[in-house]
Structure formats: C-alpha cells, structure tokens
Amino acid sequence: MCKRNWTIGIAAIILAVGLGGAALAQNLPKLPDQLTLRQSPGSPGPVTFLHASHMGDRPDCTRCHPKLFSIMKQGAGTTAARRITHADMEKGRQCGACHDGKTAFGRDDCTACHRQ
Ligand code: HEC
Ligand code: HEC
Ligand code: HEC
C-alpha cells in the first residue's frame, strides 16, 4: 500500500519535470540566432538574419526550410548554400517571398536589411 503511493508520487514528479521541459523547448534555445548572410558583389552592406524575429507565435520551420532556404550547415554565420539575390527576390523567392511590402516590409528601404 505504502509502496504504491510512493510510486504514484514519483510518477507525478516525472510528469511535472516533463511538462516543464516542454515549456522550455518553446524558447528554441538551439536556433542559430544571428546569421550574417554571405555578401554578393555590390551589396550595400552586410545583412544579418535573425531567426528570433521570424518565429512569430507559431514556430514553423517549414515556412522557409527547405523550399526558400535549404539548411546547409557550413559553419556559423557563413551559411548561404545558394546566393541570395534581388533578381530571385523579385520573383518572390528567398526573402522576397514575404518582404514584398504586403506580408512584410518591402525592399525600398535598403537599411532595413543592409546594415553596417
Ligand atoms: C523566415 C524564414 C525562416 C524560418 C521560419 C526559419 N529559418 Fe532557419 N534559416 C533562414 C535563413 C534565411 C537561413 C540562412 C540561409 C542561408 O544563408 O542560405 C537559415 C539558416 C538556418 C540554419 C543553418 C545555420 C548555419 O549556421 O548554417 C539552421 C540550422 C536553421 N536555419 C534552422 C531553423 C529551424 C530549426 C527553424 C524552425 C524553428 C528555422 N530555421 C526557421 C530562414 C528561416
Ligand atoms: C516567411 C516570411 C519571411 C521570410 C521568407 C523572410 N522574412 Fe523577414 N520578416 C518577416 C516578417 C513577418 C517580419 C516582421 C514584420 C515586419 O516587420 O514587416 C520580418 C522582419 C524582418 C526584419 C526586421 C526585424 C529584424 O530581424 O531586424 C528583417 C531585417 C528581416 N525580416 C530580414 C529578412 C531577410 C534578410 C530575409 C531573407 C534572408 C527574410 N527576412 C525572410 C517575414 C519573412
Ligand atoms: C528584405 C531585406 C532586404 C532589403 C530591404 C534590401 N536588400 Fe539587398 N540584399 C538582401 C540580401 C539578403 C542580400 C544577399 C546578401 C548580401 O549580398 O549582402 C542582398 C544583396 C544585395 C545586392 C547584391 C546582390 C544582387 O542582387 O545584386 C545588392 C546590389 C543589393 N542587395 C542592393 C540593395 C538595395 C540598393 C536596396 C534598397 C533599394 C536593398 N538591397 C534592400 C536583402 C535586402
């Protein structure tokens, strides 16, 4: 009898720790948080991409991976598997899938993305 209560107690603690862990996972601690994208010739300044400001309230990696951006792990900060160009963005690819002035701010203000 006593042994049984003890077992239930342990089960409750394990459950509580498990739920706590799930809550922590929502902070997505393992996301690369600051990526300086590979610069193309003529770029007016380096572009830093922040995953944190692209998660919204519903982290969904498939909005960008792998269709818009393949994840090629090539070392932190130098990811671009494929160059990001405005020619592609004009066609609604890469950043241009959202940064079109409707879904997100457009590409008129260069310093919104190209920073020193
Ligand atoms: C709004 C678009 C967007 C979303 C959503 C997004 N990512 Fe990314 N991610 C990027 C871009 C842009 C890069 C850089 C790609 C490049 O340089 O070619 C990147 C790169 C990465 C890299 C490679 C980092 C490195 O150092 O090589 C990983 C890993 C990654 N993302 C994981 C994730 C995970 C996990 C999620 C979901 C929780 C996610 N991403 C959601 C846009 C996004
Ligand atoms: C899936 C849609 C989506 C894609 C793809 C996307 N963005 Fe965004 N981005 C957003 C939204 C939504 C916001 C926040 C709303 C706003 O400010 O218009 C945002 C905000 C930003 C901001 C301002 C916040 C910050 O992090 O400083 C920058 C800069 C930015 N994006 C750059 C980029 C770049 C560079 C790319 C391509 C590598 C990219 N985004 C791809 C949707 C996207
Ligand atoms: C939504 C984000 C964003 C905005 C706004 C933006 N760019 Fe870019 N641009 C990028 C990214 C990402 C790259 C690829 C990384 C790099 O080359 O620095 C890039 C690359 C470039 C390149 C080199 C590659 C190519 O396509 O020729 C030039 C030139 C350029 N940008 C000019 C501009 C000018 C001029 C403006 C303002 C009228 C501007 N950009 C606004 C994101 C942006």
Reported confidence tier of residue 23, pLDDT bands at 50, 70, 90: very low
The C-alpha atoms of residue 54 and residue 64 are separated, in whole angstroms, by 10
Of 34, 35, 107, 108, best ligand 3 pocket probe by most atoms within 8 Å of the beta carbon:
107
Pair (25, 47) in one structural domain: no
- Domain of 5 in residue numbering reads as 1-30
User: Cα of 20 to ligand 1 centre, how many Å?
Assistant: 26
Give me the number of domains the chain comprises: 2
| Separate counts of helices (H) and strands (E) for the chain | 2, 2
pLDDT, tens digit (0-9, with 9 covering 90-100), for 94-112: 999 999 999 999 999 999 9
User: Are 97 and 88 contacting, i.e. CB atoms less than 8 angstroms apart?
Assistant: no
pLDDT value of position 116: 72
Pair (24, 41) in one structural domain: no
Pair (70, 97) in one structural domain: yes
State the CATH number of the domain containing residue 73.
Answer: 3.90.10.10
Pair (16, 68) in one structural domain: no
Assess whether the C-beta atom of 89 lies below 6 angstroms from ligand 2.
Answer: no
Pair (37, 20) in one structural domain: no
Pair (86, 108) in one structural domain: yes
Pair (9, 43) in one structural domain: no
pLDDT, tens digit (0-9, with 9 covering 90-100), for 27-83: 555 777 788 998 888 999 999 999 999 998 888 999 998 889 887 555 444 445 578
